Structure 1
Amino acid sequence: MAQQGDENYLTTAEVARRLNVKPATVYAYVSRGQLTSVRARGSRGSLFDAGEVEQLASRSVEHPGVVERIESELSLLQDDELYYRGHPVRELVTTQTFESVAELLWTGDLAPSEPFTAPPEGVELARSAVAVAPEGARMVDKLRIAVAVLGAADPLRFDLTPASIIGASRQLLAALTEALPGPTVDGGTGGATVGGGFADRLWPKVSPRPPQPRILEAALILLADHGLAASTIAARVAASARANLYSVVSAGLGALDGQYHGAATTLAYQFLDRALKDPVKALSDELRSGQSLPGFGHRIYQQRDPRAEVLFGLLAGEPVMDRVHDLTARVNSFPNSDLALAAMMHAYDFHPDAGEALFALARVVGWTGHALEEYAEPGLRFRALGNYTGPAIT
């Protein structure tokens, strides 16, 4: 039996440091047959053959199948509640800014944060990129173009250290907001972003109404992260290949574009728009289509969506909430965040395509946090096992 301290064996903590992973990941490698553990004499701990560990460290981790469980410290969905690093999102909405919640997800520290800023040249480049979008392009399409151009212009984009990634994400969010068509809080001077928080600067881009940045900030906080959603998996796969932050965000935006993900917000907005005119007909048309009802139910939440509850509480007294309550009473399900975001959009005359853009901008925060986690894991660890079903070999 190997002895603790034998130079041919390493403890769990030593293996974790050598592989740059968490101790729990070491045991995941054992369960997948990539490492062999032995019991340390006189101890409940495990030891690992140093040569086997070095062999694993010297190559990309090869899995027989896709990684089935991904460790993350960012968000927890439990008992129909949402938490960011152990903090109930309900409390964060009432006590923190979007910027401070972003820093919490990125660093683990919850403290006041300055508004995100971008250099003038970055803002102008993003605006120029957005300006070439074809007529009819959605807001989220313009964000996608701007991300690609800003990435191409950043010569240090392959610096994957945490400080560099966080700094780039702050600037990216600020530049994307300023690049969207519409008034700017700095009077449209074209300079670096100044004054006001993220929600203050975003409001005139999405609504012509007098600013209500607090409810917009609440929505951004609620949407910042949500576990391992499809777009987050896409972002983590890109980060696993050591793609830079802009490419990680582009991967997330690509997955977000699907009808079952980011587009769900637009479908809920359109459904609510029809329901405001004739709720019974709107419901009848949707039920007849055989598709799931936009804005209701959830794959994970069982009885309620806490994000929807928070937003509906902030919208109390708005006329649109009468229709929301009417629909909820007629449906054998609960409203989700898509319907809540749609209600906010109707309450304040948001542009019809603003919902997806808000979702995307908020989720950049979560994708950044997940990229930071993934950069600390072995590279290329996502490899699905394909079952060949083509013609027989001749």
Structure 2
Amino acid sequence: MTERRAHSARTVREAQEEDQGREGRRLTTKEAAEALGVKPETVYAYVSRGQLSSRRGPGSRGSTFDANEVEALARRNRRDPTATAASGELSVRTHITLIDKDRYYFRGVDAAELALNHSYEEVAEWLWTGTLRPGIRFAAPKDTVRAARRAVGALPEHSGPTDRLRVAAISAAAADPLRFDLSEQAVIGTGRTLIPTLVHALPPVLGTHKDDGPLAHRLWTRLSGRTPDEASLHILDTALALLVDHDLAASTLAVRVAASAHAHPYAAVSAGLGVLEGPLHGAASGLAHRMLLDVLDRGSAAPVVADELRAGRRVPGLGHRLYPGEDPRARALFGLLERMPKAGPALAAARDVVATTARHTDLHANVDLALAVFTASSGMPAEGGETIFAVARTAGWIAHALEEYQERPLRMRPSGQYVGVRPPQPLPVPEGG
């Protein structure tokens, strides 16, 4: 019996050695984890996601892994920090935006200079293709616009701008049977039609709308009942171009997660719009807008700032975690606002807010404050800045979706760190039971 067991063990070892000879060296879970620089649990997470295959050898108690496959995954993880749960902070490769000190760049070009010298549509096209096309205009299919307007028109009156834009994006998707085409040209084509569809779906302030010319001109009629001068239209166009992208903001990360799952571009944009609505993101300029009106009404920033601080709130429109100095987008807009006659009072109120807070903290104006000066001076509602932000950022979301479609699918899948009670736990008892 002992000889038979010994013979059986030799047969198992020989089979394993034969398998290794055919397929290459196999690693234990511990060895695979060490090679990947992760915990053993993460190795099994890779298996569950289909990134790594495992096999139990004859007579083996644990799983084994092909050494070549493990090494290939380790190389991918070194190139792509998002592929491993061991990395301390989420990091995504991008060719779109670089933020460096108090400046930012689109494809290596100073973004503020680009926005000051080119229209929003030209900057969006540059972001998508790397080609500057002077005079380009985005147009929306009439049938798509009609469908989007009907859907937006059915919303309750109290619906906010982001509600309307989300519904318009969903309607545009439903009207496009080719929306699942994720080729580069198809996605760029979607961007060129979706952005004007979002604008055209918004109800005009005075019942009349403009559906041709530069996108900024069309957007103005949805935001203000005033007749715009050239300076105001130029500021709106520049604001759109400045806000096209800003690296991996929360909404942009949501877009990339959706695109990583190969959601079509309309769905990816909808994901971004869902995140944008928060008071710490796209809606921040509305808070600054209301604050400026309060300053103008009370004649001084001091009591308004005091009220904000007493309530334990941050003063809207000040500071940015990525810029130690002044936000370059704010700097560009303030330079234009100084030449806009109607902006004088709101501009003075903004400067009063900055000066008042500077007595206690070194915070500079950010783009939300500059946008608030513009909306408050142009007869726009407090939500006007949110609309401008959302329309502008759609172009950046399309650019990030384009990049993400070229990456390994579902790479935006971090592993959760479970901190709940350890199993096994008894079944829960119903209340009153």
TM-score (norm 1): 0.82
Q: Please name the residue that 2:101 is paired with.
A: 79
- CA shift, 1:163, in A, is 0.4
Answer with 347-356 or 61-70: which moved more.
61-70
* Sequence identity (%): 42
Q: Please name the residue that 2:353 is paired with.
A: 327
1:385 partner amino acid: S
1:68 matched to 2:87: no
- Partner of 2:105, secondary structure, is strand
- CA shift, 1:63, in A, is 3.4
- Partner of 1:331, secondary structure, is helix
Determine the C-alpha separation between the residues in 1 that align with 2:329 and 2:83. 38
- CA shift, 1:390, in A, is 2.2
Determine the C-alpha separation between the residues in 1 that align with 2:315 and 2:383. 19
**Any conservation in 2 of the 1:184–1:201 contact (CA below 8 Å)?**
no
- Partner of 1:142, secondary structure, is helix
**Partner deviation per Cα, 1:65-124 (whole Å, 9 max, x = no partner):** 577211111111112012111111221122211111001111112231421001110110
Q: Please name the residue that 1:161 is paired with.
A: 183
Extract structure 1 runs of 4+ deviating beyond 3 A.
29-35, 48-57, 61-67
Q: Please name the residue that 1:203 is paired with.
A: 220
Q: Please name the residue that 1:352 is paired with.
A: 382
**Any conservation in 1 of the 2:96–2:247 contact (CA below 8 Å)?**
yes
1:214 partner amino acid: H
Residues 232-381 of structure 1 aligned to structure 2 (within 5 Å): 232-278=252-298, 279-316=301-338, 317=341, 318-319=343-344, 320-332=346-358, 333-381=363-411
Q: Please name the residue that 2:54 is paired with.
A: none
Determine the C-alpha separation between the residues in 2 that align with 1:91 and 1:271. 29
Determine the C-alpha separation between the residues in 2 that align with 1:88 and 1:114. 21
- Partner of 1:285, secondary structure, is helix
**Partner deviation per Cα, 1:230-271 (whole Å, 9 max, x = no partner):** 000000000000000011001101111112111211111111
Determine the C-alpha separation between the residues in 2 that align with 1:54 and 1:117. 44
- CA shift, 1:176, in A, is 1.1
Determine the C-alpha separation between the residues in 2 that align with 1:371 and 1:113. 25
**Any conservation in 1 of the 2:209–2:221 contact (CA below 8 Å)?**
no
- CA shift, 1:56, in A, is 9.4
Q: Please name the residue that 1:25 is paired with.
A: none
Say if 1:55 and 1:339 are closer, same or farther in 2 by CA, change over 3 A: closer
**Any conservation in 1 of the 2:36–2:74 contact (CA below 8 Å)?**
no
Q: Which has the higher helix share?
A: 2
Answer with 340-349 or 67-76: which moved more.
67-76
Determine the C-alpha separation between the residues in 2 that align with 1:93 and 1:330. 30
**Any conservation in 2 of the 1:240–1:381 contact (CA below 8 Å)?**
yes
1:380 partner amino acid: L
Say if 1:175 and 1:389 are closer, same or farther in 2 by CA, change over 3 A: same
Aligned residue pairs, count: 347
Determine the C-alpha separation between the residues in 2 that align with 1:241 and 1:99. 28
| Bigger RCO (CA 8 Å, 6+ sep) | 1
Q: Please name the residue that 1:388 is paired with.
A: 418
1:244 partner amino acid: H
Determine the C-alpha separation between the residues in 2 that align with 1:209 and 1:282. 28
Say if 1:308 and 1:171 are closer, same or farther in 2 by CA, change over 3 A: same
**Any conservation in 1 of the 2:319–2:365 contact (CA below 8 Å)?**
yes
- CA shift, 1:202, in A, is 0.8
Determine the C-alpha separation between the residues in 1 that align with 2:101 and 2:181. 39
Say if 1:340 and 1:31 are closer, same or farther in 2 by CA, change over 3 A: farther
1:91 matched to 2:108: no
1:172 partner amino acid: L
Q: Please name the residue that 1:103 is paired with.
A: 125
- CA shift, 1:385, in A, is 2.0
